[in-house]
Structure 1
């Protein structure tokens, strides 16, 4: 008599998923380590291995050794900023149940940018810590505004409505930023360079100043993982399972806004990392946010570090800022998601 294989027991299936996730985790960690090494050793200027070793040992003296030494904080900033953007994108997609959600697409980056530029132009902001606090306030106000506008009318906060509201808000904020900057020739060049989005000016001080905010925002998001999983089932079912939906949504959103605002204050508005990374991570580890958020952090760090390395080598001896590289990667991906998902809710 012919027999058929029985389906795997739940425990065996769970062990298989755990092994797969562990292997992916090791692979992503290995890729990140390799990219960090490449970021330190590769750049628009070729440097010999003795100079690289001297710079890594902390004894940078010559020009080449100093060039390598400057790449170390730049690499750390790319890792920290990429992780923050990856987590904030995953949380925004979970909170809004919108596959198109991203700090750039929803206009949150531009809200943070406008707040920082306004503070520089009219209130004399000068320190990175001041930039961070102001950027977080601007990002939060923009997130509330976009969600409110996207929730109006029939159907509530539908994915397409949120994307359109974010795009319109972002365009308006860009105009406001230009209106603030144009009369101020003393800050115009600096602001225009910062608006592109990049990590080339990263220093140990900038990493130290933004890191506490990134750690705090990431912790808030990780603590919201269970709530995000339950909200994916629908607000009514999540409430029935004991979750205070409004509080859970507000808490997770707070974490995402802190991450986005703090990162934008230091690097400028970098788009599409929060869109691309969570989608790729869902293919690797599924939709469980307890796995998705840490993987999104690692994936964001990988993507931004890789974009920085690519930007340094494709146009030697000049450089292309990471904001441009991520846009070249993310824009086609955005079109693909729109066509494939037809902007359904998650």
Structure 2
């Protein structure tokens, strides 16, 4: 099985940055999120200036600009939360599976969450945010277990190629089931199609307030397992020799990743490739130590989703804006091909 450490021998594994350099990168990441957050509030059907933003937040402006700003702030916050969650989930999944191409979308986790939500809507009439998240997390967990089990069959165990193929096949099958459930339900089809693309345009404070604590729990679980993820990258035998409880670490880390992916999918729809692209870029900058990689991935994911949302609004500054899920797919698909070629994954 290809490990994260083995997969990055020519790049990230050799980037053993001093703590001061890593702190600097974290500060740069935080600054990028601040700048992108301001741009996110500024751009849209109506472009507003920094002065308008300051006036609106201070309550000294009651113009149309204030209404636009107030509407965009929850969208910006949601993009930050969802982007951070997906990137953190992807980094944890790559550590747990020791698979450099692991990602909630590629491994079928997001489609598992989507199918569970669709079943809840179509057959049980579930409409609450808590109901969506519970179903999404359950569906994501079942999909993750299924894909890993199928990818572990045969000689060599869960190799990157087998996991990717199992994830792709599972995603296709789950996607077909989603279509089969939704097509007869014309009353729900339009709403679901908009959600299925993946976006943050429908952000509302009540839904964010419900989702944020769940995302915080998932993130906390992953951060607590950071040291264990470093041990997993060395291989199960060596990790066990170092005193690590391999099964427990893998199980708890996977739980955190599934909670993050499921909750993010429930509120924003299935957004792909963030969990694939961001952790790889972060390893190139700060190395493979998950105690640093996880928080930096969260910053990077937030920045990527904010930037993607801004690009979608700039390209089509109208009510027909390009959804963020489309932008991340355009960015992530070539990156995925590059990773596969770079890792020189062998066929079975």
TM range (shorter): over 0.9
| Partner residue, 2:4 | none
**1-side partners of 2:281 and 2:51: how far apart?**
38
Tell me the TM-score normalized by structure 1. Answer: 0.93
**1-side partners of 2:294 and 2:51: how far apart?**
39
Task: Map residues 1-346 of structure 1 onto 2, 5 A cutoff.
Answer: 17-47=18-48, 51-58=52-59, 61-317=62-318, 318-343=320-345
Q: Determine if contact 1:110/1:174 at 8 Å carries over to the other structure.
A: yes
Task: Please list the CA deviations of residues 153-191 of structure 1 after superposition, one character each: whole Å capped at 9, or x if unmatched.
Answer: 111000000000000000111100000100101110000
Cα offset, 1:16, TM superposition = 6.5
Please say which of residues 48-57 and 269-278 is displaced more in the overlay. 48-57
**2-side partners of 1:272 and 1:63: how far apart?**
36
Distance 1:186 1:94, change over 3 A: same
Cα offset, 1:58, TM superposition = 4.4
SS in 1 for 2:18: helix
Cα offset, 1:226, TM superposition = 1.1
**2-side partners of 1:252 and 1:238: how far apart?**
15
**1-side partners of 2:75 and 2:103: how far apart?**
24
Task: Please list the CA deviations of residues 262-281 of structure 1 after superposition, one character each: whole Å capped at 9, or x if unmatched.
Answer: 00000000000000000000
**1-side partners of 2:195 and 2:60: how far apart?**
31
Task: Please list the CA deviations of residues 198-246 of structure 1 after superposition, one character each: whole Å capped at 9, or x if unmatched.
Answer: 0000111121111011100001001111111001111011111111111
Task: Please list the CA deviations of residues 290-320 of structure 1 after superposition, one character each: whole Å capped at 9, or x if unmatched.
Answer: 0000000000000001111111111222311
**2-side partners of 1:37 and 1:260: how far apart?**
26
Over aligned residues, Cα RMSD in angstroms?
A: 1.6
Q: Determine if contact 2:16/2:287 at 8 Å carries over to the other structure.
A: no
Cα offset, 1:284, TM superposition = 1.0
**2-side partners of 1:221 and 1:88: how far apart?**
8
Cα offset, 1:41, TM superposition = 1.3
Cα offset, 1:339, TM superposition = 0.7
**2-side partners of 1:52 and 1:187: how far apart?**
36
Instruction: Tell me how many residue pairs correspond in the alignment.
Output: 331
Q: Determine if contact 2:316/2:322 at 8 Å carries over to the other structure.
A: yes
Q: Determine if contact 1:147/1:157 at 8 Å carries over to the other structure.
A: yes
Mind listing any 5+ residue stretches in structure 1 that lack a counterpart? 1-13
Mind listing any 5+ residue stretches in structure 2 that lack a counterpart? 1-14
Cα offset, 1:45, TM superposition = 2.0
**1-side partners of 2:291 and 2:101: how far apart?**
21
Q: Which has the larger radius of gyration?
A: 1
Q: Determine if contact 2:17/2:287 at 8 Å carries over to the other structure.
A: no
Any runs of at least 4 consecutive aligned residues in structure 1 with deviations exceeding 3 A, and if so which? 47-54, 58-64
Cα offset, 1:44, TM superposition = 2.7
**2-side partners of 1:316 and 1:250: how far apart?**
44
**2-side partners of 1:98 and 1:60: how far apart?**
51
